[in-house]
Amino acid sequence: MKRFTTLDVSSPPCSSHHYPGKVFGFVDEIIAGGVRIEGMLTESLTGKSAPEFSGLRGWLNTPPLTVARLRGKVVLLDFWTYSCVNCVRSLPHMKMLHKEYAGGPFVLIGVHTPEFEFEKLPENVASAVKRFGIGYPVAIDSENTTWKLYGNQYWPRQTLIDSSGMVRWEHAGEGDYDKMGDRIRDLLKETGRQEESKDNARSNILENFRFMPNTTPEIYAGTLRSQGFGNGQVYEPGSRTRFIDPGKHSRDMPYLGGDWTQFPEYVVHATTESGYILLKYGARNANAVLGASDTKPVRVDVELDGKPIEKGKAGADIQWDSMGSFLLVAENRLYDIVRTKDFETHELKLITKADDLRLYTYTFG
């Protein structure tokens, strides 16, 4: 019988801890029953009984499920959250695995575990599941209870459970989808009821994940994980501050212009006068988790290197009119802003006159 004893790490995942502003150096190593990643220890459950689901606020696409009642099936748990770009990029691969193996002795379950408060609401999760076209079961783990029981600190993370209820393989981050499929087929063979793949092309027909080592890391704006702003001035979190742009910008450091207030999860524009957030970054793709306190859409003008974004470099959420390129922020979620074929360095500027625009985090790929 083949046993898998490591937690695979194939790319920098989103973390419940703040990463230092430097190039990631990931280590795939078992240390005293855990896996040390970027100096942090996360528990590995490989070789142990899978914990029961706990503290859930509901299920989508299925009646309630339990680990105990899933005995006899191979179960893949995908821990994700809908504003994490790493999770969003992994969803097509999860859907492909579901398409290939569902209906036999295999079940894929997405365990939605929030990073931000707005992601805790079941109605927001349901909306995201519909938007992404997810048809497999989704557990709503709004208090991260099940996530913690499985020793998680990262989004996305996959846990593979065999038909006897034992954890046999764990994986953090994007990538290694072919390896994931191999592990699933190995465990299906152990059940004696292996089903043929419904699509011989499998997940390799999708875009292969490529991590660029000099990519700007995830940058948070709230006090919980922010490393501050590049303006070089004193400000008090929770109090409105007028930020002055120094004019010279270092890479991977956000700069504010105008009146802003910093809260634990986000920084919010605090006046109807024009203000902006500027960041010089290096990546192929640039995204931001944005939101507003009202349901009325908020316009955010977008400039790349001081000009409107050209269509060949625009993300899916960019629109254009006679004023230039812009976003309409109508809900708290991840917005796709810049997409380029190759690694490039740019200054991204988000400009607004709305007094409730929120920036939670920048993410890159």
Q: What is the pLDDT of residues 161-209, one digit of tens each?
A: 999 999 999 999 888 888 999 999 999 999 887 555 555 445 445 555 5
Cα gap 70→86, rounded to integer Å? 28
Sign, CA dihedral 322-323-325-326, equals negative
Is beta strand 267-269 parallel, antiparallel or unpaired with respect to 254-262?
Answer: antiparallel
Q: Answer whether residue 122 shows pLDDT above 60.
A: yes
82, 112 contact by CB (below 8 A): yes
Percent of the chain clearing pLDDT 70 (strictly above): 83
Q: Answer whether residue 69 shows pLDDT above 80.
A: yes
Q: Answer whether residue 25 shows pLDDT above 50.
A: no
- This prediction has a pTM of 0.84
* Backbone phi, psi, residue 222, to 5°: -85, 160
Cα gap 58→139, rounded to integer Å? 6
Q: Answer whether residue 35 shows pLDDT above 50.
A: no
Cα dihedral value 5, 191, 91, 43, nearest 10: -30
Tell me which residue of 220, 168, 207, 170 sits closest to 88, measured CA to CA: 207
Tokens of 242: 């007028």
Among 126-135, 265-274, 291-300, whose mean pLDDT is lowest? 291-300
Question: What confidence score (pLDDT) does residue 208 get?
Answer: 55
